[in-house]
Amino acid sequence: MAIATTSIPDLCTAARCASRRLAAVDTDVKDAALHAIADALIARAPEIIAANQLDMAAGREEEIGAALLDRLSLDPARIETIVAGVRTIAALPDPVGEVIEGRRLANGLDVRKVRVPLGVVAVVYEARPNVTIDAAALCLKAGNAIVLRGSSIAAHSNAVLVAIAAQAAVAAGLPEGCVGLVAGGGREELAELATQNDTLDLIIPRGGEGLKAALKAVATVPVIYAASGNCHVYVDASADLAAAERVVLNAKAQRPGVCNAAETLLVHKDAAAELLPGMLRLLGEAGVLIRGDEHTLALAGDPPGAVLEPATTEDWETEYLALTLAVRVVGSLDDAIDHIGRYGSGHSEAILTRDAAAVRAFQRGVDAACVYVNASTRFTDGGEFGMGAEIGNSTQKLHARGPIGLRELCTAKYLVEGDGHVRV
């Protein structure tokens, strides 16, 4: 196993050497390595849980909050879910060598555009130790070496998980250095990692706006931002209100500490009087604090069914990652689209409607990686999309957008074959 305690350049150099060998490894060897990792996770589950309990105890002592504790926590069920994700990735088609397009030119040259590994991918993430294994499995299957830099909050969990993954992968035939962990350190260490131009091909940060801003300030290595999710659910005038209640409750309360949870509910004025009193009561029963505009507060009922506070502009801009929801009544579909365009982060947005014209207008007007019709934003996930696990959800437009899976961890190469051809 490679764990950096002093030298990030050495760790990245080892990953670069491993990547050259890994790019030529056959699919069956990579798949066997993933199954070996899965088997090792099961066998060493008590060790993983013991390490995680140390992180959980430290998190409680530091009062990191319920949402972060939920993201940090590992138990037998979550370990089984991680293992299932690794095996799912092993079963997916290998993207390496896939022909994207091919043709014979007029001059007789045969040209094929094929997928190839990126090389060395660094993943920087916060308090979600499951990302350690998800990211490693995806990168290895796509033929990439990986350098992981997790949060200090999950230091014990990540150290054990990387040790297990690296040892199992190498024992199964993958090159030494294919999985590495940057341990400890702060912003200076992040800056050092983000400037390893000679050895890193890509950095993927998975976290909030603070992490995104920190990397933007220093990174010279290319970055795909898998960052914040200020997601909205808009209930249109024609929506099925019973379905709207189910979707909104799921989008907000099913797991509030994740990036695809809804942070703002927008309701058309013609649906507000019928929807909001019951909707707010259901949200209140789920423990959700409401930050509402004046129309929402007026429709809350007496007594109100939830704890309500007046919303400010800051609430429309906030990714709470907690049981807090901003609620606004809007005058039209266009107002909802304008609100999302101003405050959304480009992650996941949903409309609830039975109007086909409203569907088309929302799909065309909302600029986000994932746009939903009559469905919860919680589906934005590589596993849910049939991609296996994901490293994150890209909110930018180049080179990947949406869930970052196997194909998004590849680049392309043109293979050109001739028969003594020369250009004239």
- The answer to whether the beta carbons of residues 350 and 266 sit under 8 Å apart is no
What is each CA distance from 147 to 53, 79, 113, 299, in whole angstroms?
Answer: 24, 21, 28, 51
Distance CA 81, CA 153 (A): 21
pLDDT tens per residue, range 334-359: 999 999 999 999 999 999 999 999 99
Which of 6, 29, 27, 14 is closest to 147 using CA atoms?
Answer: 14
Q: What is the DSSP string of 379-409?
A: G-STTTTTS-S-S-EE-SSSS--EE--TGGG
pLDDT tens per residue, range 201-260: 999 998 777 888 889 899 999 999 876 899 999 999 999 999 999 999 999 999 998 899
Helix, strand or coil for residue 277? Answer: helix
Tokens found for residue 254: 């099913």
Strand partners, 413: 114
Strand partners, 410: 117
CA torsion through residues 171, 173, 176, 179, sign = negative
Name the amino acid, one letter, at 175: P
Structural domain spans, the chain: 2-226+391-417, 231-379
Helix, strand or coil for residue 111? Answer: strand
Which of 177, 154, 175, 172 is closest to 38 using CA atoms?
Answer: 172
Neighbouring C-beta atoms of residue 413, cutoff 10 Å: 13
Q: What is the mean pLDDT of the chain?
A: 94
Decide if pLDDT at 377 tops 90. yes
Given pLDDT bands bounded at 50, 70 and 90, which one contains residue 185? low
| pLDDT value, residue 284 | 96
DSSP letter assigned to residue 309 = E
Task: Give the Cα-Cα-Cα angle 116, 194, 163 (nearest 5 degrees).
Answer: 70
Decide if pLDDT at 1 tops 50. no
Name the amino acid, one letter, at 270: D
Decide if pLDDT at 3 tops 60. no
DSSP letter assigned to residue 346 = S
With a CB cutoff of 8 Å and minimum separation 6, the contacts of 406 are 89, 92, 94, 95, 138, 141, 142, 387, 388
| pLDDT value, residue 184 | 65
CATH tag, 231-379? 3.40.309.10
CATH class of segment(s) 2-226+391-417: alpha beta
Name the amino acid, one letter, at 6: T
Tokens found for residue 188: 């200076």
Tokens found for residue 54: 């140390």
Tokens found for residue 125: 């993430």
pLDDT tens per residue, range 269-311: 999 999 999 999 999 999 999 999 999 999 998 778 889 999 9
Name the amino acid, one letter, at 344: G
- The answer to whether the beta carbons of residues 370 and 348 sit under 8 Å apart is yes
Largest CA distance in the chain: 85
Distance CA 406, CA 95 (A): 7
| pLDDT value, residue 4 | 47
pLDDT tens per residue, range 59-88: 999 998 887 898 899 999 999 999 999 999
Q: What is the pairing mode between strands 289-292 and 308-310?
A: parallel
Distance CA 82, CA 130 (A): 7
Compute the radius of gyration of the chain from its Cα atoms: 23
Distance CA 331, CA 237 (A): 10
